[in-house]
Amino acid sequence: MTTESRPKETPEDGRTPAALAVPAPDPFDQDDLPTPPGATASLLRSLLAPMRARVGLVVLLLLLQQAAIQAGPLLVAYAIDQGVPAVREGRWGPLVAVGAGYLGCALAGGLLQYAFLTRSAVVSQDVLLDLRGRIFRHGQALSLDFHERYTSGRLISRATTDVESLRELLDEGLQELVTVLVSFVYIGGMLLWLDLGIGSVAVLSFVPLYLLIRLYQRRVGRVYARRSTAIARVIVKFTETVNGIRPVRAFRREEANDAEFAELNRTHERSNGDALLEMARYVVGSRLVANTAVAGMVLWGAWRVADGALALGVLAAAVLYVRRLYDPIDRMAMFLNAYQSAAASLEKIAGLLAQRPAVPEPETPVALPAPTGAGPGRTVEFAGVSFGYRTGGEVLPRFDLTIPAGQTVAVVGSTGAGKSTLAKLLARFYDPSAGQVLLDGVDLRTLATPDLRRGVVMVTQEAFLFSGTVAENIAIGRPDATRAEVEAAARAIGAHAFIAELPDGYDTDVRKRGGRISAGQRQLVGFARALLADPAVLILDEATSSLDIPGERAVQQALATVLRGRTAVVIAHRLSTVAIADRVLVMADGRIAEDGTPEELIAGTGEFAGLHRAWRESMAG
Amino acid sequence: MSDSPSHPETAPDTPPDRPEPSAVRTLLRLWPYVRPVRARLFTAVVVAIAASCVGLVIPLVLKWIVDGPVAGGDPGGVWLGALLLLGIGVAEAVLFGFRRWLVARPLAGVEARLRGDLFAHVQRLPVAFHDRWASGQLLSRGTTDLMMLRMFLAFPLTFLVVNGATIVVGMAVLLAQEWTLGLVLLLPVLPLIAVCSLFESRYARVARRAQDQAGDLTTVVEESVLGIRIIKGFGRHRSQARAFGEQSRQLRTTELAKARLLASIWAVIVILPELALGGALVLGVVQVADGALSAGTLVAFLTTALALRWPVESIGFLLAMCQEAATATRRYFEVIDTARESVGPDALPGAAPGGDPDGPADGLRFADVVFRFPDAAPDSPPVLDGIDLHVRSGETMALVGATGSGKTALTALVPRLHEVTAGRITLDGEDITALPRAELRSRVALAFEEPTLFSASVGENVLMGADGGAGEAELRRALEVAQAGFVDRLPDGTATEVGEQGLSLSGGQRQRLALARAVVGAPRFLVMDDPLSALDVHTEALVEEALRRVLKGTTALVVAHRPSTVLLADRVALLSGGRIAAVGTHQELLRENAEYAWLMSGADAPPGTGGPGPAELAKGTSR
């Protein structure tokens, strides 16, 4: 009987390099970041390099294990050719030797197998740990510009499914490959040693097998590319539906979705079946070659035993070896599957890791001088700054602005006027394409991250909560803060009341039962976070959009105290924010259209005066 | 699993203490999906058994060649034997290929059907279910778990049968050849079974722990991507990386424990049969030396025994795979077993007491509506506690309330995204539970505070709001109302692809498209949850002006935070302490209701409240 195959298949992600050849208008749309030539190989090298010694050990263990396992037939040959006559002559020595040898080989084979499996698991887990860490850290280091274009799902699948397919390769595939190669070499060598003729036939049979494997690899590669695209579409449709379940329901998309999903699912089913059929063809082909070779070798061997040119024991051993020789050829296909998909995944990962952060950490950071003013605030200066998004869109032409330490500046203007760009440049989410953004005269680009974040903190409209308790979420602002400090920050911003009403107060897990927190409440938590961080410069970008008016006012009252002595830039659609500002900037088309104290502007005839009037009227009802 | 409650990723619906059905019982649940392809699957098993048996014949032919023609020096017999060997080899190859061919398409089909059913089920599960389940958990059930099931049907299932049969047949052949030697080989069977079953239960535990930890790791990745602005804004990527590092090291520890288990079972599975084989060899040599056994028989015996090594070795990991498949099945049916939202109607028309006499133009009515989130404790105070509200036909009603007062929950009740705990809601006198859900939702259009666009063109996204009856003209009109003129500056205009796979739009742009979607079908009833929060003052003013025209003749409920939005409405309802505290025009309420005045202008804190907390405040004034 022959082993058909190890029941392992590869995960559904075997995109071939060929898929990259199609010219794409924007690589981000295609989920294929440009991978520099050789990046995949050098990534793999750099992952394995630190464990060279351990990889060596693992390979050695496998070589020894195979030696122990493959010794069996040799012992059989010895037992038949030497042991039988010896016992007949009453000499038990050779037979005892065979028994001891078999016992030794069995124990060695098993123990070495154990050692090999555990050692290689350590190697592969360490490689994966390293790779996961690299992807994660790199993703975190990449600029917002990148994150805005590379959807979250893709980054997640890089760190999960793509790593997983490398793991398949390391755990299963490489072991398969080494086992296959080692046993080919061992058995081939053994056969040649036992009998040159039979050995030569065995070696010759490798040629058609090799060609067959190449053919399979080429054909299945194409199928995999199709299947990987198909499953990716299925995944996107699935996630999108689940994440948008409310509109799906409200707009009765269920049936239309069923139909669309069925189509995507069918495409995947077809390519999936194609891949399985490819495998079936390979199995037939390789088995035919193998069994023909076996028949040939037996024929020739039998002839020569009949001629007396070959010992019967040698033929028996040779036949046993030949049967083993072809056992692993199906595993070869398994390895190829694992390899194809891991190669595709590694390529995607390498493409991600090759992205250079647009906002890099400085190599030689400059320390921020001690604050010069009375309060903790610092001077902010935009010196000849210009900026344009890579995708086009909002553009800041040459821009100059100085905000003295301790000043609160409100920035107003319509969508697309460049308010948010201003804020993002100040928070160093982006770097300007020309000019400098300076904090107390120091270019933001030369500040180390801890210094930068003690200097500037930005609170945005979307207040994301991490899993964990409410207290932990606030403490993101300052991880070493005490509970009293966390509560003080929450109280200051008017968030204490609702937090106290949650089932476990500050210890309520935001992802668990009863941890339902409304959009406005999330924004309050975001604010408390920022207060706790205690920065020199605070940027608020639409940070109160989901609050009701009293909430907003509570925040503003808190800010009036908190911002004293601090530098603040407040961006708002709502003019109510202006109340706490020392200065108002009206932006239009990336330029400052009006600049002055609120009183000056309200009294004037500019756009702001008009807006303010309209706003007062709406508030009055 | 007993250790699951400590893992946030574990399915929230699984009661931790319920004893789990056995792996076999669990796997049997797949039968309805396998049934349609059962003929091919069973044929494939039979073919695989045949192929394996053919494989077992090969040593017998070798024996015949060695003992017969070779020993007898008969060249013709050698030729015959070799030809026989070749024929058997060809048969074996063809049979194995045939087995794979038989199951390839059917099993891909089973996987696809399972996935299609999961998708159809998931999108019809109650919204409350989705509130509790992370999307990643559902997705992993729809992808990796199903792949595992397909693999299970293709390999472990078949090969447990095939290898089991091969072992039995092989042992029979061995015993028939030489029963003493055969018995020696049977010796390790019992210890092997014992070790395997011990291993099986341990492995299942560790495997589930690894799955859960991998899920936790995914959550950290997901959150670190979704919360990237906060992490960057506070310079917290190092602590985030530390958390990630810690979790991935935990996973590594579990994976290594899993590897050790697997390695031990492998070692046992390699050693025991090999020892028996060694014993049989020594015994066999003695017998051959005694002349009790022919050399050819010993060769054939050992060849057969060696051929059985693989089936025996494979049992260990086949069982491991069955365990994993059972876990996958369990995870799959965890979702499938959750009841779908009913299609409706859930009540007889007019069966509700006090059916409305006002006839078809009654508008939207809430009668003593109580609502508590389904996952909240039954004794917790309800979010909404006795809502009575009448939005007259054609009227626009603004809904105002403090942050966290339950406004969003109230709007979700109308299209039955959440179900009322008590009380009832009527549309033109008809109880919403007496309408089929599809009918209800086609009557009520919604705009959500967090606008979601799907991977489709801008035009398709907007037209989702209409029942296929709307065309280019309606699309244009809706875009105009929503002031979504930016659409024409997109690369392909209304044909531009947006959503996860397309162009990413700003929050304000998405909100305007969601608004256009709500109004495109000219709905009778419109429910909007703070639909203008992300718009700047200019755009908001323009949208409001256009909306005012649309709202004429539409019965609308609009959640509002700002006076500007309130001004869209004919009347305003104040939600406070879970009840409608006051209804009136904006001016009336401003004059007469202190809480409202405070909410809308913040000018004066209402009497009797010292602290600034809106929640405390709501409590102080509601009763």
Residue with tokens 């009036």: A560
Residues A300 and A416 in one domain: no
Domain edge (last residue) among A305, A338, A353: A353
Nearest residue in B to A574, CA atom: B537
Residue among A118, A216, A249, A580 with most chain B CBs within 10 A, to mutate = A249
Residue B239 and residue B246 in contact, taking contact as beta carbons nearer than 8 Å: no
pLDDT of residue B90 exceeding 50, the answer is: yes
pLDDT of residue A568 exceeding 80, the answer is: yes
B217 touches chain A (CB under 8 A): yes
pTM (whole model) above 0.95 = no
Three-state SS letters, B194-256: HHHHHHHHHHHHHHHHHHHHHHHHHHHHHHHHHCHHHHHHCCCHHHHHHHHHHHHHHHHHHHH
pLDDT of residue A77: 79
Which helix (H) or strand (E) covers residue A487, if one does? helix A483-493
Distance from CA of A456 to the nearest CA of B (A): 8
Inter-chain contact A132–B248, Cβ cutoff 8 Å? yes
Residues A437 and A335 in one domain: no
Spell out which residues of chain B touch residue A162, defining contact as CB-CB under 8 Å. Answer: none
A174 occurs within a structural domain: yes
Nearest residue in A to B263, CA atom: A114
d(C-alpha B72, C-alpha A563), whole Å: 106
Q: Which burial class, exposed, middle or buried, applies to A482 when counting CB atoms under 10 A from its CB (0-12, 13-18, 19+)?
A: exposed
Domain holding A321: CATH number?
A: 1.20.1560.10
Tokens, residue A537: 């410069």
Domain edge (last residue) among A311, A337, A353: A353
Distance from CA of B368 to the nearest CA of A (A): 23
B40 touches chain A (CB under 8 A): no
A131-135, A365-369, B603-607 — which is least confidently predicted?
A: B603-607
Distance from CA of B233 to the nearest CA of A (A): 6
Closest CA to B403 of B133, B594, B618, B125: B618
Residues A229 and A91 in one domain: yes
Closest CA to B504 of B517, B494, B490: B490
pLDDT above 90 as % of chain B = 10
Distance from CA of A579 to the nearest CA of B (A): 13
pLDDT of residue A13 exceeding 90, the answer is: no
B179 touches chain A (CB under 8 A): no
Domain B21-210+259-336 in CATH: superfamily?
ABC transporter type 1, transmembrane domain (1.20.1560.10)
Residues A192 and A273 in one domain: yes
Residue B81 and residue B61 in contact, taking contact as beta carbons nearer than 8 Å: yes
Mean confidence (pLDDT) of chain A = 80
Q: What is the pLDDT of residues B553-574, one digit of tens each?
A: 889 999 988 787 888 889 999 9
pLDDT of residue B171 exceeding 60, the answer is: yes
Q: Can you say whether the dihedral through the CA atoms of A302, A307, A309, A311 is positive or negative?
A: positive
B419 touches chain A (CB under 8 A): no
Q: What is the pLDDT of residues A572-592, one digit of tens each?
A: 766 767 777 889 888 887 888
Inter-chain contact B289–A87, Cβ cutoff 8 Å? yes
Q: What is the pLDDT of residues A267-284, one digit of tens each?
A: 989 988 998 898 888 888
Residue A175 and residue A65 in contact, taking contact as beta carbons nearer than 8 Å: no
Tokens, residue A467: 């899993």
d(C-alpha A509, C-alpha A365), whole Å: 38
Inter-chain contact B89–A452, Cβ cutoff 8 Å? no
Q: What is the pLDDT of residues A343-359, one digit of tens each?
A: 878 888 888 888 888 78
Q: What is the pLDDT of residues A501-560, one digit of tens each?
A: 888 888 888 766 555 777 788 888 888 888 888 888 988 887 777 777 777 777 777 777
The radius of gyration computed from the CA coordinates of chain A, to the nearest angstrom, equals: 35
Residue A234: CA count within 13 A, CB half-sphere: 32
The region, left, alpha or beta by phi > 0 then psi within -120 to 50, assigned to residue B280 is: alpha
Q: What is the pLDDT of residues B189-247, one digit of tens each?
A: 788 888 888 887 788 888 878 877 887 787 788 778 777 877 877 777 777 788 888 88
Inter-chain contact B123–A9, Cβ cutoff 8 Å? no
Count up the domains in chain A and report the number.
2
Residue A311 and residue A241 in contact, taking contact as beta carbons nearer than 8 Å: no
Predicted confidence band at A263 (pLDDT cuts at 50, 70, 90)? very high
Spell out which residues of chain B touch residue A303, defining contact as CB-CB under 8 Å. Answer: 75, 78
What are the counts of helices (DSSP H) followed by strands (DSSP E) for chain A?
A: 23, 10
d(C-alpha B43, C-alpha B488), whole Å: 60
A327 occurs within a structural domain: yes
pLDDT of residue B5: 33
A10 occurs within a structural domain: no
Mean confidence (pLDDT) of chain B = 80
Over residues A222-231, mean pLDDT: 79
Q: What is the pLDDT of residues A427-480, one digit of tens each?
A: 888 888 888 999 888 898 898 887 888 888 888 766 778 878 889 888 888 888
Residues A418 and A471 in one domain: yes
d(C-alpha B243, C-alpha A474), whole Å: 17
Predicted confidence band at A20 (pLDDT cuts at 50, 70, 90)? very low
pLDDT of residue A392: 54
Residues A388 and A326 in one domain: no
Rounded to the nearest angstrom, the gap between the alpha carbon of residue A156 and the centroid of all alpha carbons in its chain is: 5
Give the Cα-Cα-Cα angle A64, A323, A176 (nearest 5 degrees): 45
Tokens, residue A295: 């028949």
Residues A317 and A449 in one domain: no
Q: What is the pLDDT of residues A47-86, one digit of tens each?
A: 888 888 988 898 888 888 888 887 877 788 788 888 888 8
Name the residue among A102, A117, A450 with its Cβ closest to that of B262: A117
B403 touches chain A (CB under 8 A): yes
Tokens, residue A223: 């199928």
pLDDT of residue B147: 83
pLDDT of residue B370: 92
pLDDT of residue B369: 92
Domain holding A464: CATH number?
A: 3.40.50.300
B328: which residues sit within 8 A by CB, 6+ positions away? B141, B144, B145, B146, B148, B149, B152
Residues A277 and A186 in one domain: yes
A29 occurs within a structural domain: no
Residue B496 and residue A149 in contact, taking contact as beta carbons nearer than 8 Å: no
Predicted confidence band at A374 (pLDDT cuts at 50, 70, 90)? low
Tokens, residue A59: 């390979």
B472: which residues sit within 8 A by CB, 6+ positions away? none
Which helix (H) or strand (E) covers residue A279, if one does? helix A254-307
Domain edge (last residue) among A316, A336, A353: A353
Inter-chain contact B615–A132, Cβ cutoff 8 Å? no
Closest CA to B575 of B384, B391, B415: B384
Inter-chain contact A497–B217, Cβ cutoff 8 Å? no
Over residues B276-280, mean pLDDT: 86
d(C-alpha A414, C-alpha A228), whole Å: 43
Containing domain of residue A47, as a range?
35-353
Inter-chain contact A618–B154, Cβ cutoff 8 Å? no
Residue with tokens 């590092």: B245
Interface list for B 109-128 with A (CB within 8 A)? 109, 111-112, 115-116, 119-120, 122-124, 127
A231-235, A291-295, B135-139, B428-432 — which is least confidently predicted?
A: B135-139
Closest CA to B309 of A15, A110, A375, A590: A110
Q: Is B581 helix (H, G, I), strand (E, B) or coil?
A: strand
Which helix (H) or strand (E) covers residue B555, if one does? strand B555-559
Over residues B29-36, mean pLDDT: 90
Inter-chain contact A253–B464, Cβ cutoff 8 Å? yes
Spell out which residues of chain B touch residue A553, defining contact as CB-CB under 8 Å. Answer: 602, 612
Spell out which residues of chain B touch residue A251, defining contact as CB-CB under 8 Å. Answer: 441, 446, 464-465, 517
pLDDT of residue A328 exceeding 80, the answer is: no
The region, left, alpha or beta by phi > 0 then psi within -120 to 50, assigned to residue A457 is: beta
Name the residue among B279, B285, B561 with its Cβ closest to that of A79: B285
d(C-alpha A532, C-alpha A479), whole Å: 9
Which helix (H) or strand (E) covers residue A423, if one does? helix A419-426
d(C-alpha B520, C-alpha B479), whole Å: 8
Residues A102 and A226 in one domain: yes
Residue B516: CA count within 13 A, CB half-sphere: 31
Return the axis-axis angle of helices A329-353 and A93-141, rounded to nearest 10°. 20
A vs B: CB pairs below 8 A: 569
Q: Look up the CATH architecture of domain B359-622.
A: 3-Layer(aba) Sandwich (3.40)
Inter-chain contact B120–A258, Cβ cutoff 8 Å? yes
pLDDT of residue B500 exceeding 80, the answer is: no
The radius of gyration computed from the CA coordinates of chain B, to the nearest angstrom, equals: 35
Tokens, residue B130: 């989705």
d(C-alpha A442, C-alpha A449), whole Å: 14
pLDDT of residue B490 exceeding 50, the answer is: yes
Inter-chain contact B263–A98, Cβ cutoff 8 Å? no
Name the residue among A113, A288, A414 with its Cβ closest to that of B266: A113
Inter-chain contact A113–B263, Cβ cutoff 8 Å? yes
Q: DSSP code of A372?
A: -
d(C-alpha B90, C-alpha A285), whole Å: 10
Tokens, residue A398: 């040459």
d(C-alpha A408, C-alpha A377), whole Å: 10
Residues A579 and A507 in one domain: yes
Residue A345 and residue A165 in contact, taking contact as beta carbons nearer than 8 Å: yes
Residue with tokens 């990643």: B136
Interface list for B 149-178 with A (CB within 8 A)? 150-151, 154-156, 159, 166, 170
> Which of the given ranges, A14-23, B177-186, B465-474, has the highest pLDDT on average?
B177-186
A254 occurs within a structural domain: yes
Name the residue among B62, B219, B600 with its Cβ closest to that of A319: B62
Q: Count CB atoms within 10 A of the CB of residue A216.
A: 21
More confident residue, B356 or A15: B356
Distance from CA of B512 to the nearest CA of A (A): 13
Residue type for A210, please? Y
Looking at chain B, the domain(s) classified CATH 3.40.50.300 span: 359-622
Spell out which residues of chain B touch residue A151, defining contact as CB-CB under 8 Å. Answer: 500-501, 504
Three-state SS letters, A159-200: HHHHHHHHHHHHHHHHHHHHHHHHHHHHHHHHHHHHCHHHHH
Residues A308 and A390 in one domain: no
Give the Cα-Cα-Cα angle A184, A174, A280 (nearest 5 degrees): 70
Over residues A599-609, mean pLDDT: 83
B531: which residues sit within 8 A by CB, 6+ positions away? B447, B449, B511, B514, B515, B518, B558, B565
Q: DSSP code of B85?
A: H
Q: What are phi and psi of A437, to 5 degrees?
A: -110, 125
Give the Cα-Cα-Cα angle B174, B179, B185 (nearest 5 degrees): 60
Tokens, residue B144: 């990796």
Predicted confidence band at A9 (pLDDT cuts at 50, 70, 90)? very low
pLDDT of residue B438 exceeding 90, the answer is: no
Q: DSSP code of A509?
A: B
A5 occurs within a structural domain: no
Looking at chain B, the domain(s) classified CATH 1.20.1560.10 span: 21-210+259-336
Nearest residue in A to B159, CA atom: A7
Rounded to the nearest angstrom, the gap between the alpha carbon of residue A613 and the centroid of all alpha carbons in its chain is: 51
Residues A494 and A432 in one domain: yes
B200: which residues sit within 8 A by CB, 6+ positions away? B319, B320, B323
B417 touches chain A (CB under 8 A): yes
d(C-alpha B196, C-alpha A406), whole Å: 72
Distance from CA of B364 to the nearest CA of A (A): 17
A81-85, B339-343, B396-400, B535-539 — which is least confidently predicted?
A: B535-539
d(C-alpha B364, C-alpha A342), whole Å: 57
Q: Is B349 helix (H, G, I), strand (E, B) or coil?
A: coil
Residue type for B42, please? F
Residue type for B387, please? I
pLDDT of residue A112 exceeding 90, the answer is: yes
Residue type for A390, please? R
